[in-house]
Amino acid sequence: MNKATVIVGFGSCGLAAGANKTYDEFKRIKSADNIDFELRKTGCVGMCYREPLVEIIDDSGSYIYGGVDEQRVDEIVENHIKKISPINEYIVSSSKNNGTDESFFKDQVKIALRNCGHIDPESIDDYEAKKGYSAIKNIGKESISPDTVIQNVLDSGIRGRGGGGFPTGMKWKFAKNNKSDKKYVICNADEGDPGAFMDRSLIEGDPHSILEGMIICGYAIGANEGYIYCRAEYPLAIKRLEIAIKQAKEKGYLGKNIFGIKGFDFDIHVKEGAGAFVCGEETALIASIEGERGMPRKRPPFPAEKGLWKYPSNINNVETFANIPWIIAEGSKNYAKYGTEKSKGTKVFALTGKIRHGGLVEVPMGISIKDIIYKLGGGIIDDKKFKAVQLGGPSGGCIPEYLSDTQVDYDSVNATGAIMGSGGMVVMDETTCVVDIAKFFLDFTQKESCGKCTFCRIGTKRMLEILNRITEGEGEEGDIERLETLSHSIIDSSLCGLGQTAPNPVLTTIKYFRDEYEAHIKDKKCPALSCKKLLTYEVIPDKCTGCMVCAKACPVDAIEGDKKEVHYIIQEKCTNCGVCFTKCNFDAIKLS
């Protein structure tokens, strides 16, 4: 019998949940009890809502355990490893399909995430054992021309996964066709929306796939230097990138005349950014690498013509580069068989919000929003009603429940007023106020505006002021129209994608939930019972026991009533703080 292998998820999500303590407990028991099993680390498995995650592989199969704290480690070692008796109640997924959360993985197709959760991200040997670097090695061995590589990328149909959705092969072709003695490949790892969690997890879980994708791009366009622009707030991602780069150099995979391709020199550097959302825009990113303030530049010329230090440059995001080695190794047709006519392949999403199964999922393009939420995501928490999904991050748009059959592809999503973005998917239920959500996202983009364009700098501030008034019960007739007018002016007058998409949350919520805006403005009510200043707290006489807990807790003495008598709230004194609602043990306070 082969000895068991124990693999602990060491992505940021796992570490935040205590994976390091889980790992240390396995290590302690292994040493103390002299038990013969292999103990390893991996990146994010994707099932973030069940962290810490531990996979055990033995002769009987593979088993992923969820919520593995130190106590469960002891149980798992005693039963599974010593007695070969898996603990079914803790298993979330297994090779025997008897886990409690099998649906999370069932409809996924993992290409970008193919190695995440399966390899030690700090081991180049693990990556190569999974066919890593085989794509670029084959290019050198078979003397495949740059034009053929680019044609394969074009034939795959892959479009940029950073949000714009421009055909990747076309982008590479433009960069190649611009003749220059120096060119650059840039990986954008700095998206600041929920999709950045996806980029970070990919780097933390499989950094060599990004390096290989960049090397292939460098060969295809004729570049000899690459930069990975990653926000400094991702220390684990940066650490693993630096380890991967060092390992690749030691193997001769970076440097001069690499992979047997005479004259092909390529090196990669990590540039740490300050976490500015605007640097997700490629010209602002380039300015930041050059040591300038991260502000967008007028286009044309596009980076493919004049990019980093005015040399032709190609920019793709983390997910795009992670797909490239698979496309070259497995063939463009195998990639293009997934997806729709105009949106090929798969897409990674970071699921969050009012959803049971939050985490990373990779699905074929063309799957419906409903299937992602209910099949993979497990539906809405507490079985509340699904209201909408914010797709595309802070500058994305809200798609309502009645459009949940919308296919996830670039054209279908854009038609709703939302954008694909880099993969953020925030799920909302009936308790979510869409006006407040629009304010939340606009507050983010307004703060992240670089200030270069007047309408983006000032227009978003005026919009935020209006939204603040509406959620505080001071909305006025005409505010909706003012928001729409400002939105279109900002879109038309902004230089970069931040300003051009910043109004999306407002425009889509007005489009699909105009009645909620009107209720806030005309009736001074929040239908979702979320906006604090628009709530009314009342005592339900039939439920009140006169216990006086609420009266004692009220900070402004707005509740009166004798002991064991029905209490009442003086509305003129009530500040809508909600303390009475929180403190009542008999559900005797209602909101309206």
Smallest CA-to-CA distance from 2 within 38, 53, 55 is with: 38
Ramachandran angles phi, psi of 51, nearest 5°: -65, 155
Clarify whether residues 58 and 171 are in a common domain: no
Enter the tokens of residue 587.
């559900």
Which whole number is the average pLDDT over 462-472? 96
Residue with tokens 């292939």: 216
Residue 1 confidence (pLDDT) above 50: no
C-alpha distances in Å from residue 262, one per residue of 85, 176, 219, 256, 266? 55, 18, 11, 9, 12
Q: Does residue 298 lie within any of the structural domains?
A: yes
Clarify whether residues 165 and 302 are in a common domain: yes
48 sits in the region (left: phi over 0; alpha: psi -120 to 50; else beta) called alpha
Q: Does residue 115 lie within any of the structural domains?
A: no
Which whole number is the average pLDDT over 442-464? 92
Q: Which of 266-270, 324-328, 585-589 has the lowest average pLDDT? A: 585-589
Sequence-distant (≥ 6) Cβ neighbours of residue 377 within 8 angstroms? 351, 355, 356, 357, 358, 361, 427
Residue 192 confidence (pLDDT) above 70: no
DSSP string spanning 445-512?
HHHH--S-SHIIIIIHHHHHHHHHHHHTT---TTHHHHHHHHHHHHHHH-SSHHHHHTTHHHHHHHHH
Q: Are 213 and 189 in contact (CB under 8 A)?
A: no
Sequence-distant (≥ 6) Cβ neighbours of residue 465 within 8 angstroms? none
- The CATH number of the domain holding residue 455 is 1.20.1440.230
Ramachandran angles phi, psi of 118, nearest 5°: -120, -15
Which residue, 496, 523, 550, sits at the end of a domain? 523
Give the rounded distance of the alpha carbon of 372 from its chain centre.
14
Measure the CA–CA gap between 420 and 413, rounded to whole angstroms: 7
Q: What is the pLDDT of residues 131-187, one digit of tens each?
A: 999 999 999 999 999 999 999 999 999 999 877 789 999 999 999 999 999 999 999
Enter the tokens of residue 374.
């209910």
Measure the CA–CA gap between 142 and 198, rounded to whole angstroms: 34
Clarify whether residues 416 and 441 are in a common domain: no
Angle between helices 479-493 and 504-518 (to 10 degrees): 170
Give the model's pLDDT for residue 194.
47
Clarify whether residues 271 and 332 are in a common domain: yes
User: Is pTM beyond 0.85 here?
Assistant: yes
Q: Does residue 530 lie within any of the structural domains?
A: no
510 against 395, higher pLDDT: 510
Give the model's pLDDT for residue 478.
96
Residue 91 confidence (pLDDT) above 70: yes
Three-class SS of 482-500: HHHHHHHHHHHHCCCHHHH
pLDDT band with cut points at 50, 70 and 90 for residue 3: confident
Q: Does residue 452 lie within any of the structural domains?
A: yes
Clarify whether residues 176 and 237 are in a common domain: yes
Residue 459, CA atoms < 13 Å, CB-side half-sphere: 25
Clarify whether residues 178 and 325 are in a common domain: yes
Ramachandran angles phi, psi of 271, nearest 5°: -110, 120
Residue 399 confidence (pLDDT) above 90: yes
Give the rounded distance of the alpha carbon of 237 from its chain centre.
14
Clarify whether residues 30 and 130 are in a common domain: no
Q: Which of 134-138, 225-229, 476-480, 529-533 has the lowest average pLDDT? A: 529-533
Give the model's pLDDT for residue 420.
87
Domain that holds residue 421: 346-429
The count of domains in the chain is: 5
Mean pLDDT of all residues belonging to the chain: 93
Clarify whether residues 102 and 140 are in a common domain: no
Question: What letter does residue 334 receive in the DSSP assignment?
Answer: H
Measure the CA–CA gap between 472 and 281, rounded to whole angstroms: 34
Clarify whether residues 491 and 504 are in a common domain: yes
Which whole number is the average pLDDT over 272-299? 89
Q: What is the pLDDT of residues 99-113, one digit of tens each?
A: 999 999 999 999 999
Which residue, 429, 445, 461, sits at the end of a domain? 429
Measure the CA–CA gap between 541 and 544, rounded to whole angstroms: 5
C-alpha distances in Å from residue 418, one per residue of 180, 220, 391, 393, 447? 38, 33, 6, 9, 21
- The CATH number of the domain holding residue 176 is 3.40.50.11540
Q: What share of the chain is helix, strand, coil (3-state, %, to 5)?
A: 45, 15, 40
Give the model's pLDDT for residue 44.
92
First-last CA distance in the chain: 65
Residue 241 confidence (pLDDT) above 90: yes
Give the model's pLDDT for residue 196.
61
Q: What is the pLDDT of residues 304-329, one digit of tens each?
A: 999 999 999 999 999 999 999 999 99
Q: Does residue 114 lie within any of the structural domains?
A: no
Residue 2 confidence (pLDDT) above 80: no
- The CATH number of the domain holding residue 100 is 3.40.30.10
Clarify whether residues 207 and 332 are in a common domain: yes
The letter for the amino acid at 357 is: H
Q: Which of 125-129, 206-210, 421-425 has the lowest average pLDDT? A: 421-425
Give percent of the chain with pLDDT exceeding 90: 84
Three-class SS of 397-439: EEEEHHHCCCECCHHHHHHHCCCCCCCEEEEEECCCCHHHHHH
Here the contacts of 379-384 (C-beta below 8 Å, separation 24 or greater) are 379/355, 380/354, 380/355, 380/356, 380/427, 380/429, 381/354, 381/355, 381/356, 381/429, 384/354, 384/429, 384/430, 384/431
Give the model's pLDDT for residue 276.
82
Q: Does residue 341 lie within any of the structural domains?
A: no
- The CATH number of the domain holding residue 372 is 3.10.20.600
Enter the tokens of residue 226.
């690459």
The letter for the amino acid at 588 is: A
Count of residues for the chain?
A: 592
Measure the CA–CA gap between 381 and 137, rounded to whole angstroms: 47
Measure the CA–CA gap between 328 and 332, rounded to whole angstroms: 7
Q: What is the pLDDT of residues 43-68, one digit of tens each?
A: 999 999 999 999 999 998 999 999 99
Which residue, 429, 448, 465, sits at the end of a domain? 429
pLDDT band with cut points at 50, 70 and 90 for residue 191: low
Clarify whether residues 223 and 352 are in a common domain: no
Q: Does residue 119 lie within any of the structural domains?
A: no
Cα-Cα-Cα-Cα dihedral sign, residues 396, 402, 407, 411 = negative
Give the rounded distance of the alpha carbon of 68 from its chain centre.
24
Clarify whether residues 179 and 300 are in a common domain: yes
Q: Does residue 190 lie within any of the structural domains?
A: yes
Q: Are 490 and 456 in contact (CB under 8 A)?
A: yes
Q: What is the pLDDT of residues 7-25, one digit of tens each?
A: 999 999 999 999 999 999 9
